[in-house]
Amino acid sequence: MIWRKTKCETAQPLPWVGLMDPDEASVPRSAVTPGDRLERLSASARGWHTIQMAVLGFIGICGILRTTSSSAPRAVQWLAGALAVAALAVACMAIFTVGRVAYPVGDALDGDRAAVGAADRLRSGIRLTVIALILAVVAALSGWWPSPAGNSAVAVTGTTGQAWCGPLVSGPADAISVRTASGIISVPAQAIAQVSPVGRCP
């Protein structure tokens, strides 16, 4: 008698057979709940609050710098002041927006809609923080406005009480020469009682 192999005897087992426990399919996989997502967003928002406070302090420093004298034109100074005020307003709005996520109120809704809304508010608050920082940096750049060359003036007072004011110019070696409204005046060194720099001649 001759035995022949049937198809059932030569069939190979499928690769996924035996890889999964029969009871494993009935066990639900752990998923991130909306409450967990809200907690993570709240923790991230509290971290961003620290950065926002640093930005707010930088804007305050820019405001203090605005009170000092600057060689920038008047229009540039007004523009820098407006940008500093705008940066402060945007920063306050950003802090409020992120604060709603970091410290949610008690009547906040739970669920997917609350998580999506919190994520959107956090993104908006981060964008506002970046905008406030950019405005503050642009406002602070006016403090480094270059001073016009050749406009430094000095006040020269003679021993007789007479005074001259104007920018220094080249002149004799034993005298100080200044350009006044009446022309170039050279005062001998022995006739000078005091020399002091001034921002502007009267």
Give residue-wise pLDDT tens across range 39-66. 888 888 888 888 888 888 877 776 655 5
CB under 8 Å, gap of 24 or more: what pairs does 73-80 form? 73/145, 76/142, 76/145, 77/142, 79/142, 80/138, 80/139, 80/140, 80/141, 80/142, 80/143
Give residue-wise pLDDT tens across range 73-132. 778 778 888 888 898 899 899 989 988 888 877 545 556 777 788 888 889 999 999 998
- The CA-based dihedral angle spanning residues 30, 36, 40, 45, taken in that order and rounded to the nearest 10 degrees: 160
Q: What is the pTM of this model?
A: 0.54
